[in-house]
A and B are shown apart, each in its own frame.
Chain A
Amino acid sequence: RKEVEQDPGPFNVPEGATVAFNCTYSNSASQSFFWYRQDCRKEPKLLMSVYSSGNEDGRFTAQLNRASQYISLLIRDSKLSDSATYLCVVNGGTGANNLFFGTGTRLTVIP
Protein backbone atom coordinates (compact mmCIF):
# COMPACT_ATOMS: atom_id res chain seq x y z
CA ARG A 1 0.00 0.00 0.00
CA LYS A 2 1.33 3.44 -0.90
CA GLU A 3 2.06 5.85 1.94
CA VAL A 4 0.11 8.61 0.20
CA GLU A 5 -2.64 8.17 -2.38
CA GLN A 6 -4.08 10.85 -4.60
CA ASP A 7 -6.49 11.00 -7.50
CA PRO A 8 -4.14 11.70 -10.44
CA GLY A 9 -6.78 13.62 -12.36
CA PRO A 10 -6.48 15.43 -14.65
CA PHE A 11 -8.91 18.06 -13.48
CA ASN A 12 -9.87 20.50 -16.21
CA VAL A 13 -11.85 23.43 -14.84
CA PRO A 14 -12.89 26.83 -16.18
CA GLU A 15 -11.49 30.04 -14.75
CA GLY A 16 -13.36 31.07 -11.63
CA ALA A 17 -14.37 27.55 -10.69
CA THR A 18 -13.86 25.94 -7.31
CA VAL A 19 -11.96 22.66 -7.31
CA ALA A 20 -11.12 20.23 -4.52
CA PHE A 21 -8.35 17.65 -4.28
CA ASN A 22 -8.22 14.82 -1.79
CA CYS A 23 -5.57 12.52 -0.53
CA THR A 24 -5.28 9.72 2.01
CA TYR A 25 -2.25 8.58 3.96
CA SER A 26 -1.50 5.22 5.54
CA ASN A 27 0.73 6.00 8.53
CA SER A 28 -1.35 7.02 11.52
CA ALA A 29 1.84 8.30 13.22
CA SER A 30 2.41 10.98 10.57
CA GLN A 31 2.40 14.43 12.12
CA SER A 32 3.37 16.85 9.37
CA PHE A 33 1.24 17.48 6.31
CA PHE A 34 1.74 19.67 3.29
CA TRP A 35 0.55 20.54 -0.16
CA TYR A 36 3.30 21.20 -2.68
CA ARG A 37 2.85 22.59 -6.16
CA GLN A 38 4.90 21.40 -9.13
CA ASP A 39 4.86 23.13 -12.49
CA CYS A 40 5.71 21.18 -15.61
CA ARG A 41 9.40 20.19 -15.67
CA LYS A 42 10.09 22.24 -12.55
CA GLU A 43 10.87 21.43 -8.94
CA PRO A 44 8.17 21.09 -6.26
CA LYS A 45 7.51 24.15 -4.14
CA LEU A 46 5.62 24.40 -0.89
CA LEU A 47 2.09 25.69 -1.38
CA MET A 48 0.95 25.42 2.21
CA SER A 49 1.29 23.40 5.37
CA VAL A 50 -1.80 21.68 6.71
CA TYR A 51 -2.75 22.17 10.35
CA SER A 52 -5.08 20.08 12.45
CA SER A 53 -7.65 22.85 12.71
CA GLY A 54 -7.59 23.52 8.98
CA ASN A 55 -6.05 26.62 7.47
CA GLU A 56 -6.60 29.10 4.71
CA ASP A 57 -4.22 31.12 2.57
CA GLY A 58 -6.08 33.44 0.23
CA ARG A 59 -8.01 31.30 -2.25
CA PHE A 60 -6.55 28.07 -0.87
CA THR A 61 -7.99 26.10 2.04
CA ALA A 62 -6.46 22.93 3.48
CA GLN A 63 -8.20 20.49 5.78
CA LEU A 64 -6.93 17.53 7.78
CA ASN A 65 -8.99 14.67 9.18
CA ARG A 66 -6.71 12.55 11.37
CA ALA A 67 -9.37 9.99 12.19
CA SER A 68 -9.91 9.21 8.52
CA GLN A 69 -6.28 9.94 7.58
CA TYR A 70 -7.52 12.28 4.89
CA ILE A 71 -6.23 15.61 3.62
CA SER A 72 -7.95 18.02 1.25
CA LEU A 73 -7.11 21.14 -0.70
CA LEU A 74 -9.78 23.54 -1.95
CA ILE A 75 -9.00 26.18 -4.55
CA ARG A 76 -11.59 28.90 -5.02
CA ASP A 77 -11.89 31.28 -7.98
CA SER A 78 -9.37 29.31 -10.05
CA LYS A 79 -6.86 31.29 -12.08
CA LEU A 80 -4.99 30.24 -15.21
CA SER A 81 -1.82 30.45 -13.13
CA ASP A 82 -3.13 27.72 -10.82
CA SER A 83 -2.53 25.15 -13.58
CA ALA A 84 0.02 22.75 -12.12
CA THR A 85 0.34 19.41 -10.38
CA TYR A 86 -0.51 19.42 -6.69
CA LEU A 87 1.38 17.01 -4.46
CA CYS A 88 0.06 15.76 -1.14
CA VAL A 89 2.95 15.21 1.28
CA VAL A 90 3.17 13.66 4.76
CA ASN A 91 6.09 12.91 7.03
CA GLY A 92 7.14 9.40 7.93
CA GLY A 93 5.93 9.35 11.50
CA THR A 94 6.55 10.86 14.89
CA GLY A 95 9.63 13.06 14.66
CA ALA A 96 10.58 11.63 11.29
CA ASN A 97 12.48 13.88 8.91
CA ASN A 98 11.57 11.99 5.77
CA LEU A 99 8.60 12.93 3.65
CA PHE A 100 6.35 10.80 1.48
CA PHE A 101 4.93 12.33 -1.64
CA GLY A 102 1.76 11.43 -3.46
CA THR A 103 1.92 11.03 -7.22
CA GLY A 104 0.15 14.35 -7.64
CA THR A 105 -3.11 15.65 -9.05
CA ARG A 106 -2.87 17.55 -12.28
CA LEU A 107 -4.99 20.69 -12.64
CA THR A 108 -5.58 22.63 -15.84
CA VAL A 109 -7.56 25.85 -15.62
CA ILE A 110 -9.19 26.69 -18.93
CA PRO A 111 -9.90 30.25 -20.10
Chain B
Amino acid sequence: NAGVTQTPKFRVLKTGQSMTLLCAQDMNHEYMYWYRQDPGMGLRLIHYSVGEGTTAKGEVPDGYNVSRLKKQNFLLGLESAAPSQTSVYFCASSYRTSGLLEQFFGPGTRLTVL
Protein backbone atom coordinates (compact mmCIF):
# COMPACT_ATOMS: atom_id res chain seq x y z
CA ASN B 1 0.00 0.00 0.00
CA ALA B 2 1.29 3.41 -0.94
CA GLY B 3 -1.04 5.09 1.58
CA VAL B 4 -1.62 8.75 0.69
CA THR B 5 0.39 10.20 -2.15
CA GLN B 6 0.58 13.78 -3.38
CA THR B 7 1.80 15.29 -6.63
CA PRO B 8 3.73 17.40 -7.21
CA LYS B 9 6.14 17.52 -4.26
CA PHE B 10 7.36 21.03 -5.07
CA ARG B 11 6.08 23.82 -7.27
CA VAL B 12 6.88 27.46 -7.94
CA LEU B 13 4.18 29.63 -9.46
CA LYS B 14 3.93 33.22 -10.52
CA THR B 15 1.12 35.38 -9.19
CA GLY B 16 -2.03 34.79 -11.21
CA GLN B 17 -1.10 31.33 -12.49
CA SER B 18 -3.33 28.36 -11.80
CA MET B 19 -2.50 24.83 -10.79
CA THR B 20 -4.00 21.61 -9.46
CA LEU B 21 -2.62 19.49 -6.65
CA LEU B 22 -3.48 15.81 -6.78
CA CYS B 23 -4.04 13.58 -3.78
CA ALA B 24 -4.55 9.84 -4.09
CA GLN B 25 -5.18 7.18 -1.44
CA ASP B 26 -5.34 3.42 -1.77
CA MET B 27 -6.86 2.64 1.64
CA ASN B 28 -10.50 2.88 0.49
CA HIS B 29 -11.09 5.77 2.89
CA GLU B 30 -14.36 7.64 2.61
CA TYR B 31 -13.11 10.96 3.98
CA MET B 32 -10.41 13.13 2.45
CA TYR B 33 -9.03 16.53 3.49
CA TRP B 34 -6.79 19.33 2.28
CA TYR B 35 -4.78 21.36 4.80
CA ARG B 36 -2.22 24.10 4.58
CA GLN B 37 0.56 24.53 7.12
CA ASP B 38 2.20 27.89 7.73
CA PRO B 39 4.78 28.86 10.37
CA GLY B 40 3.12 29.76 13.66
CA MET B 41 -0.35 28.85 12.37
CA GLY B 42 -0.56 25.09 12.62
CA LEU B 43 -2.44 23.05 10.06
CA ARG B 44 -5.63 24.66 8.81
CA LEU B 45 -8.37 22.85 6.94
CA ILE B 46 -9.09 24.19 3.46
CA HIS B 47 -11.75 21.82 2.14
CA TYR B 48 -12.81 18.28 2.87
CA SER B 49 -14.94 15.51 1.39
CA VAL B 50 -17.02 12.88 3.11
CA GLY B 51 -17.54 10.83 -0.02
CA GLU B 52 -17.27 10.65 -3.78
CA GLY B 53 -18.97 13.61 -5.41
CA THR B 54 -19.27 15.65 -2.19
CA THR B 55 -17.12 18.47 -0.87
CA ALA B 56 -17.36 20.99 1.95
CA LYS B 57 -15.56 24.13 3.05
CA GLY B 58 -13.14 24.12 5.91
CA GLU B 59 -11.59 26.92 7.89
CA VAL B 60 -9.75 28.71 5.03
CA PRO B 61 -11.45 27.89 1.70
CA ASP B 62 -11.10 31.21 -0.13
CA GLY B 63 -9.03 31.05 -3.30
CA TYR B 64 -9.26 27.26 -3.57
CA ASN B 65 -11.58 24.79 -5.25
CA VAL B 66 -11.75 21.02 -4.89
CA SER B 67 -13.23 18.04 -6.64
CA ARG B 68 -13.76 14.41 -5.65
CA LEU B 69 -14.82 12.65 -8.83
CA LYS B 70 -13.37 9.32 -7.71
CA LYS B 71 -13.27 7.94 -4.19
CA GLN B 72 -9.51 7.55 -4.22
CA ASN B 73 -8.67 11.03 -5.54
CA PHE B 74 -9.10 14.52 -4.13
CA LEU B 75 -7.95 17.48 -6.22
CA LEU B 76 -7.14 20.95 -4.92
CA GLY B 77 -7.18 23.81 -7.42
CA LEU B 78 -5.75 27.29 -7.19
CA GLU B 79 -7.54 29.44 -9.74
CA SER B 80 -5.30 32.51 -9.54
CA ALA B 81 -2.35 32.01 -7.25
CA ALA B 82 -1.37 34.72 -4.78
CA PRO B 83 1.80 35.08 -2.64
CA SER B 84 -0.40 34.50 0.44
CA GLN B 85 -0.92 30.95 -0.82
CA THR B 86 2.74 30.13 -0.40
CA SER B 87 2.57 27.23 2.02
CA VAL B 88 2.99 23.51 2.55
CA TYR B 89 -0.16 21.65 1.52
CA PHE B 90 -1.05 18.32 3.10
CA CYS B 91 -3.71 15.92 2.00
CA ALA B 92 -5.17 13.43 4.47
CA SER B 93 -7.73 10.66 4.48
CA SER B 94 -9.65 8.69 7.07
CA TYR B 95 -12.29 6.03 7.49
CA ARG B 96 -15.87 6.99 8.20
CA THR B 97 -16.64 6.23 11.81
CA SER B 98 -18.81 7.64 14.54
CA GLY B 99 -15.97 7.50 17.01
CA LEU B 100 -12.37 8.57 17.09
CA LEU B 101 -10.85 8.87 13.67
CA GLU B 102 -7.19 8.82 12.69
CA GLN B 103 -6.21 10.85 9.67
CA PHE B 104 -3.42 9.57 7.44
CA PHE B 105 -1.37 12.26 5.77
CA GLY B 106 0.45 12.49 2.49
CA PRO B 107 4.05 13.76 2.32
CA GLY B 108 3.03 17.31 1.42
CA THR B 109 3.45 19.72 -1.48
CA ARG B 110 5.66 22.77 -0.99
CA LEU B 111 4.23 25.63 -3.04
CA THR B 112 5.88 28.99 -3.55
CA VAL B 113 4.01 31.81 -5.26
CA LEU B 114 6.20 34.67 -6.46
In the complex, what distance in Å separates the CA atom of A43 from the CA atom of B25? 15
| A-B contacts besides A46-B103, A101-B44, 4 pairs, CB < 8 Å | A8-B40, A49-B100, A99-B45, A103-B42
Question: Which of B34-93 touch A at CB < 8 Å?
Answer: 35, 40-45, 48, 50, 58-59, 90
Contact partners of A32 in chain B: CB under 8 A: 99-101
Q: What chain B residues lie within 8 Å of A95 (beta carbons)?
A: 98
Kindly provide the distance from the CB of B100 to the nearest chain A CB, expressed in whole angstroms.
5
Collect the chain A residues with CB atoms within 8 Å of residue B35's CB. Answer: 101
Given A98-B58, A102-B42, A103-B40, A43:B108 Cβ within 8 A: yes
Interface membership of A44, Cβ < 8 A: yes
Give the contacting residue for B103; candidates A99, A102, A104; CB below 8 A: A99
Known interface pairs A49-B102, A97-B31; A42-B45 also in contact (CB < 8 Å):
no
